[in-house]
Copies of this chain bind each other. A is one copy, B any other.
Amino acid sequence: MEGTIATPVAYEDASPEVRAVYDDIMETKGIDFVPNFWRTVASHPPLLRDIWESLKATMAPGRLDVLTKELIALAVSATNGCDYCINSHTAAARMLGMDDEMLGELMAVVGVFNRTNKLSDAYQVPVDERIKKAVRG
C-alpha cells in the first residue's frame, strides 16, 4: 500500500492480537479483506484495538438501525470531505440497501445544511428562546 505516512501491517505479518482484531473486523462487516484504514492504524496496535472496539459497539443496531447509522456516518464524512471515509461508507451503505435515490436525497440534505450552517454562523444568529425550550424534548 502506497501513500500512507505509517507502515501498514499485512495480515500475514500481524501479531496474534492484531490478527484477532482483523478477523473480528472481517466477520462483523461480512467482508473477506482487511481495508487499508485498519491496516494503517495497526501500525500503532493500541489505536487499532481502541478504535475498533469503539466503532463496533457504536455501530451495532439500537434505537437507530444499521443503515441509518451508515447514512449518518456518510453525512459526517461528506461534511468533513474525507475521501477514504466517503468511499468506505458509501460502499457500506450500498451493501445495506442504499439506492441511487437515497444517495441523491442524502447529498441534497448535506448540501442544504452546509449552506444554512455557514449562514447561521456568518450572520451570528442567536438561538430562539422557544427553540431552546424544545431542545430537551
Give me the interface of A with B, judged by CB distance under 8 Å: 1-7, 33, 35-37, 40-41, 43-44, 46-47, 50-51, 53-55, 57-59, 62-64, 68-69, 71-73, 75-91, 94-95, 98-128, 130-132, 134-137
Contact = CB atoms under 8 A, between A and B. Distances in A.
A129 to B, nearest CB: 10
Contact of A105 (B54, B69, B80, B116): B69
Count identical subunits in the complex. Answer: 6
Contact of A51 (B2, B72, B111): B111
A113 B76 contact: yes
A72 B73 CA distance: 9
Given A76-B75, A91-B135, A120 B50 contact: no
B2 A105 contact: no
